């Protein structure tokens, strides 16, 4: 994830860009200046800073709770 101070200066467009501008990948509300950008294999998305913070915490909580379910036994 990368902090973007001014999304209007980005040279490439993330997935959710459209003719109305940018909407946050998480909440869908408009993004106007700064954002957090996440680059994945299928493209990039932008989030409000508060939404990125919340998503990060949720990812940690969800993955931490279930972290041992798919571990491979040591060989």
Which residues make up the interface to Zn ion (CB under 5 A)?
A: 24, 26-27, 48, 51
Residue showing the smallest CB distance to Zn ion in the complex: 24
Could you tell me the smallest distance in angstroms from the CB atom of residue 3 to Zn ion?
15
| Per-residue 3-state assignment (H helix, E strand, C coil) for 5-68 | CCHHHCCCCCCCCECCEEECCCCCCEECCCEEEEEECCEEEEECHHHHHHHHHHHHHHHHHCCC
Phi, then psi, of 34 in degrees rounded to 5 = -90, 155
Could you tell me the smallest distance in angstroms from the CB atom of residue 39 to Zn ion?
18
Q: For Zn ion, give the closer residue by CB, 30 or 43.
A: 30
Could you tell me the smallest distance in angstroms from the CB atom of residue 44 to Zn ion?
15
Q: For Zn ion, give the closer residue by CB, 10 or 54.
A: 54
């Amino acid at each position: 994830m990368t902090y973007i101070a001014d999304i209007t200066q980005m040279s490439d467009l993330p997935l959710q860009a459209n003719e109305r501008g940018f909407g946050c990948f998480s909440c869908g509300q408009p993004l106007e200046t700064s954002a957090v950008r996440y680059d994945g294999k299928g493209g990039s998305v932008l989030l409000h800073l508060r939404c990125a913070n919340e998503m990060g915490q949720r990812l940690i909580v969800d993955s931490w709770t279930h972290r041992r379910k798919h571990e491979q036994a040591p060989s």
